[in-house]
Structure 1
Amino acid sequence: MLDSAIFTWVHQLVGYLLEPVTLAMLLLVAVAVWDVGVACGERLGGLRRWRLLPLAAVERRARKRLERSDLIARLGPILGLMGTLIPLGPGLAALGDGDIQVLSVAMRVAFDATVLGLLGGMGGFVLGRLRRRWYDELLESMEREQGVGDESLAL
């Protein structure tokens, strides 16, 4: 049953996914590191310059950056899990054949993929939480300032 042509084909296809998944994880971690730099720039003065923009433009920018952080936070663990499971198939097959060396390499790759995926996800999660707080504070103060200005015009 499990040795049919379709399972052989699926096994080969999944084996080809390890390199693209690993490259995607590396790219994701690079984007997370870049996003940390952007967030540091925002915190160290960039958000003060946002006050000069219209409220709608600030909301658009904030939404875009939060979406990027959320995407990083969600994709990291997904790619890490894929990178964990893909090498375990050949590793377990090698264990069945008694080849402990192949199993140890597969386990090392699996654990490295897990850590890399969680690292990217953690970075995205932390950035998203910090940014939500920063953007909420900024938007609330901008709305208060506009509200105060509107009341003074009505008098």
Structure 2
Amino acid sequence: MFLIESTMYELTKVFLAPVLLIILGLFGYAFYALGGFALEALQRRRGRHTPALISHWRRHPDTELADLELLILRWLEPLRIGSRTAPMLGLIATMIPMGPALLALADGNSRGISENLVIAFAAVIIALIAASLCFFILTVRRRWLLNELRTIEHELARAPTAAAEPLPAVRTVANN
């Protein structure tokens, strides 16, 4: 039994560095996405935004609504994955250093406890910040894209044969 336990313990230590690197990558992606989101929000506020979904539909007028929905899902997928996986990875990065921290506690090594707890708490905080940013951006951007999809639906219902014709100035259904 000791062999299994020690093997599992050693195996979990191998995963700490990759998990921490992935968390840092997600953190970087979250801020990259936040920059793009802020730029898009500013453009929308100033009325200078070109709706991506409507532009795609104009270039490919034969695209069905179901295909546009799939396109929305594909565009939002990285944000969704980031918002879902970052907390799980944060938990993993919290739990892995807890083993050595508990061993240090048993040995009376307060320095070992603090070193491992710093890693654990820093990882979970970074992961939760990344997840929160991704979730916020995902939620708002989903609304924007569904609003654009609704605009396309209205245009198709209004003039089903004129789907390939250029639309007048793009006006979304609801305020952005």
**Corresponding residue for residue 169 of structure 2:** none
**Corresponding residue for residue 86 of structure 1:** 96
Q: CA RMSD in A?
A: 2.2
Superimposed CA distance per residue, residues 127-147 of structure 1 (whole angstroms, 9 cap, x where no aligned partner): 111111101111101110121
Of 127-136 and 143-152, the range deviating more from structure 2: 143-152
Structure 2 residue corresponding to 1:53, chosen from 50, 53, 56: 56
Stretches of structure 1 lacking an aligned partner (at least 5 in a row): none
**Corresponding residue for residue 31 of structure 1:** 29
Distance 1:46 1:72, change over 3 A: farther
**Corresponding residue for residue 135 of structure 2:** 125
Identical-pair percentage: 28
Distance 1:40 1:47, change over 3 A: farther
In the alignment, does 2:79 pair up with 1:69? yes
The letter for the 2-side match of 1:25 is I
**TM-score with structure 1 length normalisation?**
0.86
In the alignment, does 2:105 pair up with 1:99? no
Superimposed CA distance per residue, residues 81-136 of structure 1 (whole angstroms, 9 cap, x where no aligned partner): 01100001000100000000000111111110110110111111111111111011
The letter for the 2-side match of 1:79 is L
C-alpha contact (below 8 Å) 2:23/2:89 kept by paired residues: yes
Q: Which protein has the bigger helix share?
A: 1
Q: What is the deviation of 1:46?
A: 5.1
The letter for the 2-side match of 1:48 is P
Superimposed CA distance per residue, residues 61-90 of structure 1 (whole angstroms, 9 cap, x where no aligned partner): 321122211100011101100110000100
In the alignment, does 2:119 pair up with 1:109? yes
Stretches of structure 2 lacking an aligned partner (at least 5 in a row): 58-62, 164-176
Runs of 4+ aligned residues of structure 1 deviating over 3 Å after TM superposition are 40-43, 55-61
**TM-score with structure 2 length normalisation?**
0.77
> Using the alignment, how far apart are the partners of 1:76 and 1:20 within structure 2?
13
C-alpha contact (below 8 Å) 2:90/2:125 kept by paired residues: yes
> Using the alignment, how far apart are the partners of 2:128 and 2:51 within structure 1?
32
